Chain A
Amino acid sequence: MNTVDPTLGACPVPLVESEKVMLGHGSGGQLSAELLRDVLVPALGAAASTGVPEDAAVIDVDGVDLVLSTDSFVVSPLFFPGGDIGALAVHGTVNDLAMMGAMPVALAVTYVIEEGFPIADLRRVTASVGAAAAAAGVPVVTGDTKVVGRGAADGIFVTTTGIGRRLPQAHISAAFARPGDVVLLSGPIGAHGTTVLSTRESLGFETEIASDTRALHRLVAAMLADAGPDIHVMRDPTRGGVASALNEIATASQVGIEIDEQAIPVPPTVAAACELLGLDPLHVANEGCLVAITAPDTADALLATMRSLPEALSAVRLGVVVNEHPGRVLMNTLMGGTRIVDMLVGEQLPRIC
């Protein structure tokens, strides 16, 4: 194994791993999009995609708009400052429904548990699922439990599936952003991703960051009650961060987006962790904030409404939607220059120095 076939080096082609799934395929960035586009959607047929990537599907059942969403949670560690896998699983699915303008009606919860997982931890995770669901006002009505052999899972994986009822004022989609619209962000970014990363044993540094995991449906309901159809897009910037969410919107709506670096709310602890780890806060996962793209005339009033709610006390105006550079997100930098805000390619790889 100490030589490489010399003929393979003679005419190198771009190295794209196409036979095996890589971790980067699950990062919510470009690789994830390619996996959906090239492997999953073609195999499932046209009904699997409207062409617009959304967090949940709207289904017309006898004239009622029901919304369906499912999400699996494989976070490590299971317990972290500000939350755990149980709360995260409830919030994640409630928020995916909410981003389509739906209020949650019921949840199903599935566990895949590794042999040897402590029952005490299972109780703790389940208590957290129960508490988060109760706080969100949504019942867990069914579920499933599977146990696999040691090594076939990492402790516990949790899948939540949610069904919701779409609010009548909701007319939102990633494809509805229009030039002139305003980009609002409900709160500080980067806390969840940096918390989970810094809690991982291998990084060996301590911070006081806590995950921002929370349910956002009440915020969404209040925003829709206030601005109704003036709200064109809602997204919770989870995996892939704000950068990926904005890029998806720009692509789906075929518009450009311009944001101001000065407006981006990055808490000092998150900024410090990102500096140390060599990460861009715009690429870091969030679990408790949303991006809204909304008509300019009512944007200030909507921002005021958001700031009156506990979920969005420090909401900000992040930028604007423009005609130029469709599909691209630009940032006006602190120094007065501009740069493109790109999607995360694959895994976030820490820099050397």
Chain B
Amino acid sequence: MKYLDEYRDPALARHLFDQIHAVTSQPWALMEVCGGQTHTLVRQGIDELLPAGVRMIHGPGCPVCVTPLELIDKALAITQREDVIFTSYGDMLRVPGSTTDLLALRARGADVRVVYSPLDAVRIAVERPDREIVFFAVGFETTAPANAMAVLRAHQLGLPNFSMLVSHVLVPPAMTAILDAPDCQVQAFLAAGHVCAVMGWTEYEPIASRYHVPIVVTGFEPLDLLEGILMAVRQLEAGRAEVENQYARAVRRSGNTEAQDAIRRVFRIGDRTWRGIGIIPASGLTLTEEFSHYDAEQRFAVADLTAREHPACIAGDILKGTRLPTDCTAYGTLCTPRTPLGAPMVSTEGTCAAFYTAGRQPYPVPAIPVRSS
């Protein structure tokens, strides 16, 4: 298929593997930020074909996985109201809350609908003035512009029955939180190409220089990832720490300024809880005062709801990259895609689910040098 096959070519992949092997002189630990990248790495078995000691740490970039438990519980509470049609992207439906999930609520009669775009939720709100339409706005900077557009559209149409449960998160604060952690092992980042298509990469430049860590804006196809890994390893081997752009066909330095304007109009930056990590200051998006009446948390008075995680789940360590799914006592036994304990087992982009569907068994982890600061 055009625009896909050329990025999945086995001969070109072998050539890139050879180059990575040729430039690598010592072990390195790289983090791919985005869940989509993790998915490609694991599904294609790329991480197992890298030189010994070059390790991919799977980052926190799965929006489903980092959505905090209490927000899932808020979604479940709102969904159980008889006047609500709850709309969401598909893979949020199976994320376990404290007591149930959206799929099970649907089986019990709740009106839960999968949409492919937040504008579909707005359309439902137009068609069903008798019901409250709530959209579960999760995601990174990638989905934020479309969600902002949905709010603007609802505002333009004067829709009183549309609202959003917002759990938007931002990549750069998560990267600095990972780098600030005392047990951080990450020596270079593959930044998420689609996030950068919206935001550009200027916000990564201070991170690269302050922490002396190479950051390569990278795409999602197998060859994108191999090239991104090669560029990052080259920087590490040369002692460089710059922002480079592998995903040049989609990303420019300034990003998509129109999309950024839409985000800024509707959302403001606020503190956000990340599932398994905790509160990261200034790491999320919240509706601005002007649009706060579209905030489902306020409309349905669920803002005070709190929740606790399953004690066996090490999702936080996995999201930070300090442990692997295969280190978890519940992995593959208590916790499977059929019976997920934590969010990384739910989404196909989640690290645990990616490991599980690839059939990864627990194996000893080679010693990795700790990043010197």
When the two chains form their complex, are residues A353 and B44 in contact, meaning their CB atoms are under 8 A apart? no
Q: What residues of chain A lie closer than 8 Å to B17, measured between beta carbons?
A: 336
Q: What residues of chain A lie closer than 8 Å to B91, measured between beta carbons?
A: 278, 349-352
When the two chains form their complex, are residues B107 and A22 in contact, meaning their CB atoms are under 8 A apart? yes
The interface bits of chain B over 125-157 (1 if a CB of A lies within 8 angstroms of the residue's CB, else 0) are 000000000000011001100000000000000
Q: What residues of chain A lie closer than 8 Å to B120, measured between beta carbons?
A: 202, 204
> Quick one: which of B46, B92, B96, B305 contacts A4, CB cutoff 8 A?
B305
> Quick one: which of A12, A334, A350 contacts B10, CB cutoff 8 A?
A334
State how many angstroms separate the Cβ of B337 from the closest Cβ of chain A.
Answer: 5
Q: CA separation between A277 and B91, bound complex, in Å?
A: 11
Q: Quick one: closest A residue to B146, CB to CB?
A: A353
When the two chains form their complex, are residues A336 and B49 in contact, meaning their CB atoms are under 8 A apart? yes
Classify chain B: how many residues form its interface, as a range. Answer: 35 or more
**A271 part of interface (Cβ distance < 8 Å):** yes
**B268 part of interface (Cβ distance < 8 Å):** no
B residues apposed to A, CB below 8 Å? 1-2, 4, 8, 10, 13-14, 17, 36, 42-46, 48-49, 63-64, 73, 76-77, 80-81, 89-94, 96-101, 103-104, 106-108, 113-116, 120, 138-139, 142-143, 194, 222, 226, 300-302, 305, 307-308, 310, 334-335, 337-341, 347-349, 356-359
**A335 part of interface (Cβ distance < 8 Å):** yes
Q: What residues of chain B lie closer than 8 Å to A350, measured between beta carbons?
A: 89-91, 114, 116
**A345 part of interface (Cβ distance < 8 Å):** yes
Q: Is the interface of A mostly helix, strand, loop or mixed?
A: loop
When the two chains form their complex, are residues A349 and B114 in contact, meaning their CB atoms are under 8 A apart? yes
Extra pairs beyond A12-B310, A278-B348, A346-B338 (15, CB < 8 Å): A4-B73, A4-B76, A15-B100, A20-B108, A22-B104, A335-B8, A335-B10, A335-B13, A337-B44, A339-B45, A342-B357, A346-B103, A351-B89, A352-B347, A353-B63
Q: With A1-B77, A351-B90 given, is the CB distance from A10 to B114 under 8 Å?
A: no
Rank and list the top 4 A-B pairs by shortest CB-CB distance, nearest first: A337-B45, A340-B359, A9-B98, A14-B339
When the two chains form their complex, are residues A352 and B81 in contact, meaning their CB atoms are under 8 A apart? no
When the two chains form their complex, are residues A339 and B359 in contact, meaning their CB atoms are under 8 A apart? yes
> Quick one: which of A14, A17, A352 contacts B104, CB cutoff 8 A?
A17
> Quick one: which of A9, A203, A262, A339 contacts B308, CB cutoff 8 A?
A9
Q: Quick one: closest A residue to B349, CB to CB?
A: A351
Number of interface residues of A (CB under 8 A): 49
State how many angstroms separate the Cβ of A97 from the closest Cβ of chain B.
Answer: 32
Q: What residues of chain A lie closer than 8 Å to B113, measured between beta carbons?
A: 202
Q: CA separation between A265 and B1, bound complex, in Å?
A: 12
Q: With A16-B338, A17-B104, A337-B48 given, is the CB distance from A2 to B300 under 8 Å?
A: yes
Q: What residues of chain B lie closer than 8 Å to A272, measured between beta carbons?
A: 1
Q: Quick one: closest A residue to B307, CB to CB?
A: A9
> Quick one: which of B13, B98, B338 contacts A336, CB cutoff 8 A?
B13
> Quick one: which of A4, A23, A333, A334 contacts B307, CB cutoff 8 A?
A4
> Quick one: which of A17, A268, A334 contacts B44, CB cutoff 8 A?
A334
> Quick one: which of A1, A2, A345, A349 contacts B90, CB cutoff 8 A?
A349
> Quick one: which of A17, A202, A275, A335 contacts B45, CB cutoff 8 A?
A335
Q: CA separation between A278 and B194, bound complex, in Å?
A: 15
Q: What residues of chain B lie closer than 8 Å to A340, measured between beta carbons?
A: 357-359
**A71 part of interface (Cβ distance < 8 Å):** no
Q: CA separation between A147 and B141, bound complex, in Å?
A: 51
When the two chains form their complex, are residues B339 and A23 in contact, meaning their CB atoms are under 8 A apart? no
When the two chains form their complex, are residues B4 and A349 in contact, meaning their CB atoms are under 8 A apart? no
**A330 part of interface (Cβ distance < 8 Å):** yes
Q: What residues of chain A lie closer than 8 Å to B106, measured between beta carbons?
A: 22-23
Can you show 11 pairs from A to B with CB atoms below 8 A apart? A4-B76, A9-B308, A17-B101, A202-B120, A334-B44, A335-B13, A336-B17, A336-B49, A342-B357, A350-B91, A353-B36
When the two chains form their complex, are residues B348 and A8 in contact, meaning their CB atoms are under 8 A apart? no
State how many angstroms separate the Cβ of B284 from the closest Cβ of chain A.
Answer: 16
Q: With A4-B76, A4-B307, A30-B338 given, is the CB distance from A204 to B45 under 8 Å?
A: no
Q: CA separation between A278 and B39, bound complex, in Å?
A: 11
**A5 part of interface (Cβ distance < 8 Å):** yes
Q: With A4-B307, A349-B94 given, is the CB distance from A339 to B73 under 8 Å?
A: no
Residues facing B in A238-280 (CB within 8 A) are 262, 268, 271-272, 275, 277-278
Residues facing B in A30-58 (CB within 8 A) are 30-31
Q: What residues of chain A lie closer than 8 Å to B222, measured between beta carbons?
A: 334-335
